Amino acid sequence: MRNVKALTATSLALALAACNMAPKYVRPDLPVPETSPSGPVDGVAQDGATVSADTAWKDFFTDPRLARVIQTALDNNRDLRIAVANVEQARAQYRVQRADLLPTVAAGGSATYQDQPFAQGATGGAGGASGRTDIYTASVGISSWEIDLFGRVRNLTKAAQESYFASVENRNAAQTALIAETANAWLTMAADQERLKIASDLEKAFGQTLDLTKARFAKGIASELEVRQAQTSYDQARSDIALATTLVAQDRNALDLLAGTSVAAGDLPTELPDNDVTLNNLPAELPSTLLLRRPDIAAAEHQLKGANANIGAARAAFFPSISLTAAFGTMSLGLSNLFKSGSDYWSVAPSASLPIFDYGKNQGNLRYARATYDAMVATYEKSVQTGFKEVADALARRATMTAQLEAQTSLRDAARVSYKLSDARFRAGVDDFLTTLAAQRTLHSAEQTLVTTRLTRASNMVEIYRTIGGGLN
């Protein structure tokens, strides 16, 4: 038994000191500029909180209603649960593969009963005349354990580990995407609620204009054409109300789907908040290395590392494979003598195999592993480039957002004043109805566009947070 233990210990030492056939991993250079194309004009870092990849989502989203909806989604969203289950699957597969690094120790026992003609009776048998022999054994040992001299098993384990790490990052990416999607859905509902309010106010204004035009027509002051024009504007407003009502209901359904349950009525928006629902300060420059914090890019790199380890496993297949089977235990011809002194036995059966003619199988596997690695390099670089573009696009949009919002607000205010003046002149009989109708439509368009601009500004900040990786806590 001491010999078996010594041999097993020696085998373990050889396995741990074995060489590794995998190439040394070197992270590919980032195929993008060192910094974003230009720093943002709007929201440049000032005094106060600054958005970074380490900013937790609970700190980033400042509206308490939105924060509660996001937390509900994180607790109940089914897609996120699938991502978590995928992590558990990858973790289990990694544990299965890692177990091959160490020998599996098993205990067993057996009993053999045989009766042979012309055999003499054995001690402990059923009777000397019958030639019957009863043999009992009990043993502990290892079976076909591969001594990993060339790192094949270790590299397969490394590949499984990197696959597990990639699944964790994919889960983080799913969470970041869920947070952003939930925030955008909430903001979209807020914008549609505001559009519904605008349509309702417009219907009321157009209704008053229609009533006035009908009264003027009854007195012979207005023409039937003016009445029909006022009627079309009023009906259009009614149609807009129906459409906005539908959109709000659909927004609620989308939000409930993301949340995985019905969102509390008190957490639903009634209009776009006047204040920002997120932190608004950005660093003056965003280095490209920040992209390495993005979960999708981190997952791509883990896949790349796993492909690198698979090359090592494929290389090791060209070298001898050594395995060990060993056992020690006790054997006796009677059950009562099984554990008595002198019944010990042991066995060791090392084996080795070396591929000689495999008709290109190992060579094909190695080429496949190298080609997979090359594909993973391209996938990783494409992920980096895609991330850089997303950040650059979001910052470019942010750079002009304040100027656009100010211009659109000024346009809305001017259209509102213009409508009031034209309506007063129409009621006084100074201008015809077409001037008032044009002013009404301009005001309606300006208000709708302003809502869209405000929604774009809020969603843009969410997009920036998503593209830089976002905080998960």
Residue range 134-157, pLDDT digits in tens = 787 888 888 888 888 888 889 999
The stretch 433-443 carries a mean pLDDT of: 85
- By mean pLDDT, which of 115-129, 336-350, 373-387, 394-408 is the weakest? 115-129
Q: How many whole angstroms separate alpha carbon 431 and alpha carbon 352?
A: 103
Q: How many whole angstroms separate alpha carbon 143 and alpha carbon 326?
A: 7
pLDDT category at 5 given cuts 50, 70, 90 is low
Residue 348 lies in a domain: no
**Residue 164 one-letter amino acid:** Y
Q: What is the CATH number of the domain that holds 409?
A: 1.20.1600.10
Q: Exposed e or buried b for every residue in 374-413, given b needs 16+ CB within 10 A?
A: eebeeebbebbebbbebbbebbbbbbebeeebeebeebbe
The CA-to-CA distance between both ends of the chain, in Å, stands at 54
- By mean pLDDT, which of 9-13, 21-25, 82-86, 278-282 is the weakest? 9-13
Q: Determine the distance from the C-alpha atom of residue 16 to the mean position of all C-alpha atoms in its chain, rounded to a whole number.
A: 36
Residue 118 lies in a domain: no
Range of the domain at 454: 29-102+149-318+368-467
Residue 46 lies in a domain: yes
CA distance to 235, 252, 380, per residue, from 241 (Å): 10, 17, 48
Question: Which residues are CB-contacts of 169 (< 8 A; sequence separation ≥ 6)?
Answer: 295, 296, 298, 299, 302
CA distance to 196, 234, 242, per residue, from 199 (Å): 5, 10, 9
How much of the chain, in percent, has pLDDT values that exceed 70? 86
Query: What's the number of domains the chain is made of?
Result: 1
Q: How many whole angstroms separate alpha carbon 302 and alpha carbon 279?
A: 31
Q: Per residue in 173-221, pLDDT tens?
A: 999 999 999 999 999 999 999 999 999 998 998 898 888 888 888 888 8
Q: How many whole angstroms separate alpha carbon 351 and alpha carbon 167?
A: 37
The pLDDT value recorded for residue 48 is 45
The pLDDT value recorded for residue 285 is 64
CA distance to 227, 412, 432, 471, per residue, from 423 (Å): 15, 16, 10, 52
Whether the predicted model's global pTM rises above the 0.85 cut: no
Residue 338 lies in a domain: no
Residue 297 lies in a domain: yes
SS3 344: strand
Residue 83 lies in a domain: yes
Residue 323 lies in a domain: no
Residue 346 lies in a domain: no
